[in-house]
């Protein structure tokens, strides 16, 4: 227990602490003469001693209890723990559940110890009696601890009957024990302790629930125990749960049950519906490549993916898929009215944007920088190729977009960095470190982190002044930048190209327009916000509001801006 110690001055108090610690250590090293009550109160004393965090203390105590249960508890470790479980609730809720979990978990490794086998078999009767006492509210343990006792002591119906009737058992006693437990289950149902009810039903094979109970569990969103109960009751009830999942559009859960319990004949369309739903979700997230991988072995799914691309206005993806899989005829068969109206989204024409300038060489970089320096407010964003493999690093940032309300510059960071990193650094520092230019971004700290990770040796992404994160300014708005655009400007953004390949060269015109719009729209949102504030006579207040969110970061290695 030395890891719990805290330094105290020498004197009477120190001696007293040392004596208490010695008593604890002696007790844990030999439990043969330590009653269960004493052991529990010593555990509580140890837990309250020292300055370690609760989780750390609990882990240390857990190891201590595991070792202590090898040190002669009488009459044996399993019986000893049951005795402790009667004492633990007296400590109060602060300790009861945690200590109970600790004690029962500490017994797992003892099941394989030959010398403890006899005590394990004898303790099952005592543990069954404890379960009955918990069910009758004589011993106030949480339901989760009762379930833990059933699992740890492998309590069977025979053990419960023995605890109830304490005699040589016959079939009649087992039937009476099952009936007793059936009544307990009904009480659990009445008190809404449904998880415990299902545990007792499945653990002791008690037939006392019907279709209405399953439906009630699903309505209460207790889906896991609804499945557990249905599986116990048989194929008909599993089919009921599957149908309820289908009604609730929970296709993944429905498909899982159909597969696991061989219900394909009863639900032949579930597998396809789930795949279709999966493809749609991926498309909505802009993960078109993954959606294509999921669909490529099924022509019907590929056609559906083409429809989703048309619906989103992603026509280059439509052409790409049709050519790759030779399904051009499918597009001709679609009813035009079913295709989503792209004009519902905001675009550059609606914002009267005059020009998109692609910058991938040094002269263009210099000219673009001069033009940007003449602006008072700019929007910023960046893009990188998505990486969908788990536990892999993000790709290098490919482009950075910097825009006024009329012109958007798209900088090819990869090429500019390869050609002249010093010129790139110098030009972008002139923008990033200018206190005269307000730089708008959405979740801009994320972009700056990615830029620093991608181009860490460049100082232009280490220091900045006058940066405003629009996400923080509009905290209450959901739906990302598209949601903010819809809230302020009346129309959202088409995000279907978000996860396209930003490292391909040349970028498509649609990619350029998508990238430019993400930067330009920030300026328009800011202007509209300020206009509304001024309209209601609170311009000064709004000025204070947005200025309170402006941040700067000055690197200690910052050098004068020169080129």
Number of helices (H), then strands (E), belonging to the chain: the values are 27, 7
Sign of the torsion angle spanned by Cα atoms 129, 134, 137, 141: positive
The 10 Å CB-count burial string (b at 16+, else e) for 428-457 is bbbbbbbeebbbbbbebeebbebbeebbee
- For the cut 90, the answer to whether the pLDDT of residue 534 exceeds it is no
- Strand-pair partners of 400: 382, 411
Over residues 147-175, the mean pLDDT reads 90
- For the cut 70, the answer to whether the pLDDT of residue 540 exceeds it is no
Tell me what pLDDT residue 287 has.
Answer: 87
Average predicted confidence (pLDDT) for the chain: 87
Tell me what pLDDT residue 363 has.
Answer: 97
| CA diameter of the chain | 98
Q: How many residues does the chain have?
A: 563
Scanning 193-338, the segments in alpha helix (DSSP H) are 194-204, 211-219, 223-233, 235-247, 251-260, 270-284, 288-295, 299-311, 315-325, 328-333
- For the cut 60, the answer to whether the pLDDT of residue 539 exceeds it is no
Tell me what pLDDT residue 209 has.
Answer: 86
* Contact yes or no for 546/467 (Cβ under 8 A): no
Residue 22: pLDDT band by 50, 70, 90 thresholds?
very low
Cα(169)–Cα(172) distance, integer angstroms? 8
- For the cut 90, the answer to whether the pLDDT of residue 172 exceeds it is no
Q: Which two tokens stand for residue 105?
A: 């978990």
Cα(212)–Cα(227) distance, integer angstroms? 14
More confident: 550 or 17: 550
Looking at residue 400, what DSSP letter applies? E
CA distances from residue 444 to 83, 363, 550 in whole angstroms, order as listed:
59, 27, 12
- For the cut 50, the answer to whether the pLDDT of residue 8 exceeds it is no
- For the cut 60, the answer to whether the pLDDT of residue 550 exceeds it is yes
Over residues 330-337, the mean pLDDT reads 68
More confident: 497 or 427: 427
Helix (H) or strand (E) holding 41: helix 36-48
Q: Exposed, middle or buried, 332 (CB in 10 Å: 0-12/13-18/19+)?
A: exposed
CA angle, residues 221, 257, 150, in degrees to nearest 5: 65
Torsion of CA 426, 431, 434, 436, to 10 degrees: 150
Q: Residue 135: helix, strand or coil by DSSP?
A: helix
Tell me what pLDDT residue 512 has.
Answer: 95
Residue 11: pLDDT band by 50, 70, 90 thresholds?
very low
Tell me what pLDDT residue 87 has.
Answer: 95
* Contact yes or no for 62/17 (Cβ under 8 A): no
Over residues 294-310, the mean pLDDT reads 90
Tell me what pLDDT residue 538 has.
Answer: 56
Tell me what pLDDT residue 47 has.
Answer: 81
CA distances from residue 295 to 255, 269, 275, 445 in whole angstroms, order as listed:
17, 16, 8, 36
**428-479 tens-digit pLDDT:** 999 999 999 999 999 999 999 999 999 999 999 999 999 999 999 999 898 8
Pairing state of beta strands 377-384 and 397-403?
A: antiparallel
The residue to which tokens 């058992």 are assigned: 169
**pTM of the entire predicted model:** 0.65
Tell me what pLDDT residue 561 has.
Answer: 44
Crossing angle for the helix pair 288-295 and 270-284, nearest 10 degrees? 160
Residue 2: pLDDT band by 50, 70, 90 thresholds?
very low
Backbone phi and psi for residue 506, each to the nearest 5 degrees, phi listed first: -80, 155
- For the cut 60, the answer to whether the pLDDT of residue 15 exceeds it is no
* Contact yes or no for 358/411 (Cβ under 8 A): no
**362-411 tens-digit pLDDT:** 999 999 999 999 999 999 999 998 876 666 677 899 999 999 999 999 99
Of 461, 456, 452, nearest in space to 433 by CA: 461
Tell me what pLDDT residue 4 has.
Answer: 38
**78-134 tens-digit pLDDT:** 999 999 999 999 999 888 999 999 999 999 889 888 889 999 999 999 999 999 999
Tell me what pLDDT residue 343 has.
Answer: 52
Over residues 327-348, the mean pLDDT reads 70
Q: Which two tokens stand for residue 268?
A: 């032949």
Torsion of CA 339, 344, 279, 499, to 10 degrees: 130
- For the cut 80, the answer to whether the pLDDT of residue 27 exceeds it is no
Tell me what pLDDT residue 9 has.
Answer: 38
Q: Residue 57: helix, strand or coil by DSSP?
A: helix
Tell me what pLDDT residue 544 has.
Answer: 58
**193-206 tens-digit pLDDT:** 999 999 999 999 99
**268-296 tens-digit pLDDT:** 999 999 999 999 999 888 888 889 999 98
* Contact yes or no for 462/491 (Cβ under 8 A): no
Residues sharing a CB contact under 8 Å with residue 207, sequence separation 6 or more, in sequence order: none
Residue 536: pLDDT band by 50, 70, 90 thresholds?
low
- For the cut 60, the answer to whether the pLDDT of residue 554 exceeds it is yes
Tell me what pLDDT residue 405 has.
Answer: 96
The residue to which tokens 């030395």 are assigned: 2
């Amino acid at each position: 227990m030395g890891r719990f110690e805290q330094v105290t001055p020498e004197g009477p108090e120190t001696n007293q602490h040392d004596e208490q610690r010695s008593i604890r250590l002696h007790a844990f090293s030999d439990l043969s003469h330590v009653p269960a009550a004493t052991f529990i109160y010593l555990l509580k004393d140890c837990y309250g001693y020292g300055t370690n965090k609760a989780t750390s203390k609990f882990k240390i105590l857990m190891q201590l209890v595991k070792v202590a249960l090898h040190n002669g508890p009488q009459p044996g470790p399993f019986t000893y723990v049951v005795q402790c479980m009667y004492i633990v609730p007296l400590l109060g809720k602060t300790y009861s559940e945690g200590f109970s979990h600790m004690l029962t978990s500490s017994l797992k490794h003892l099941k394989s110890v030959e010398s403890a086998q006899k005590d394990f078999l004898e303790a099952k009767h005592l543990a069954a009696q404890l379960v009955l006492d918990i069910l009758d509210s004589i011993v106030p343990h949480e339901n989760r601890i009762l379930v833990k006792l059933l699992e740890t002591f492998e309590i069977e119906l025979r053990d419960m009957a023995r605890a109830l009737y304490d005699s040589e058992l016959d079939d009649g006693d087992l039937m009476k024990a099952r009936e007793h437990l059936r009544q307990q289950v009904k009480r659990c149902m009445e008190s809404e302790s449904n998880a415990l009810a299902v545990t007792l039903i499945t653990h002791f094979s008690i037939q006392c629930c019907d279709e209405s109970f399953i439906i009630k569990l699903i309505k209460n969103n207790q889906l896991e125990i609804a499945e557990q109960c249905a599986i116990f009751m048989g194929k008909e009830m599993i089919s009921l749960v599957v149908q309820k999942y289908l009604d609730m559009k929970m296709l993944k859960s429905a498909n899982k049950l159909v597969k696991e319990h061989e219900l394909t004949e009863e639900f032949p369309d579930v597998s396809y519906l789930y795949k279709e739903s999966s493809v749609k979700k991926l498309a909505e997230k802009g993960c078109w490549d993954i959606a294509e991988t999921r669909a490529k072995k099924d022509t019907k799914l590929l056609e559906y993916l083409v429809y989703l691309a048309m619906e989103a206005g992603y026509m280059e993806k439509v052409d790409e898929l049709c050519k790759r899989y030779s399904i051009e005829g499918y597009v001709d068969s679609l009813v035009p009215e079913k295709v989503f109206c792209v004009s519902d989204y905001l675009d550059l024409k609606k914002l009267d944007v005059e020009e998109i300038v692609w910058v991938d060489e040094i002269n263009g970089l210099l000219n673009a920088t001069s033009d940007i320096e003449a602006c008072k407010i700019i929007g910023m964003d960046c893009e990188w190729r998505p990486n969908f493999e788990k536990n892999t690093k993000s790709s290098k940032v490919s482009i950075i977009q910097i825009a006024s309300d009329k012109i958007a510059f798209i900088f090819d960071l990869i090429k500019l960095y390869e050609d002249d990193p010093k010129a790139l650094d110098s030009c972008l520092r002139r923008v990033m470190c200018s206190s005269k230019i307000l730089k708008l971004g959405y979740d801009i700290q994320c972009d700056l982190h990615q830029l620093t990770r991608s181009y860490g040796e460049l100082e232009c992404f280490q220091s900045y002044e006058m940066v405003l994160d629009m996400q923080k300014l509009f905290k209450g708005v959901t739906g990302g930048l598209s949601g903010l655009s819809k809230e302020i400007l009346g129309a959202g953004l088409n995000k279907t190209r978000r996860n396209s390949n930003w490292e391909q060269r040349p970028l498509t015109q649609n990619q350029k327009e998508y990238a430019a719009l993400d930067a330009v729209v920030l300026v328009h949102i800011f202007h509209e916000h300020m206009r509304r504030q001024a309209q209601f006579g609170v311009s000064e207040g709004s000025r204070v509001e947005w200025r309170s969110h402006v941040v700067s970061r000055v690197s200690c290695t910052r050098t004068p801006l020169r080129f």
